Amino acid sequence: MEPMGNAGLFLVELFFSFVIFAFVARVILRFFYVSGYNPVINFIATFTTPVTRPLTAVLPDLGRVDLAALVIAFGLQVANVWILLWLLGKSLAITGLLVFAAAKLLSTVTDILFFAIVIQVILSWVSTPSNPNPLAQLIYQIVDPMLSPFRRLIPMIGGLDLSPIAALAAIKLFEILAIGPLNSLAAQMLIG
């Protein structure tokens, strides 16, 4: 592919990645009951609420899941995959398009959770509790509920918390066992 084509692919992927990230982050923040008094959350809410508000009447929350934001993120991921394939001169059957979009959306969720854990581990080494950063507070509110089941199973060893390692391994196993087969299934439906 020519440099202009590569640049186009990059820009399309960058735009969709940012927008999809915002809606997935909204779903994750709502799922983990993250406090709304945070500048990062306010930014995400300001960006996503005008789009999700009309859908909430039709798609109310499912417990802790912001269904409207999830459906919008999925729709955006379908559009992203379709445009990228179109730019590459390829296509997928509609079922393949939906499967691949679902796999990419799950991958976005696991990437966010994976890096949130990594960032929390790094912050635990360098942050000062007396002056907490709003982003650090947000990450702790997301990661702590994820790590608590692992903390119950894995005792601290010499004052070292190994639960993040177990959580990261669980996320990677999920990617291998669930997302990988979805990507393979979608690839089998590739046309052109």
Give the pLDDT confidence of 55-85 residue by residue, as tens digits.
998 998 889 999 999 999 999 999 999 998 8
- Pair of tokens at residue 62: 């499912």
pLDDT at 127: 64
- Pair of tokens at residue 116: 């949130």
Q: Cα(89)–Cα(43) distance, rounded to whole angstroms? A: 36
pTM for the full predicted model: 0.88
pLDDT at 130: 64
Tell me the three state secondary structure of residue 90. Answer: coil
pLDDT at residue 45 above 70?
yes
Higher pLDDT, 126 or 140: 140
For the ranges 1-10, 58-67, 117-126, the lowest mean pLDDT is seen at 1-10
Higher pLDDT, 131 or 17: 17
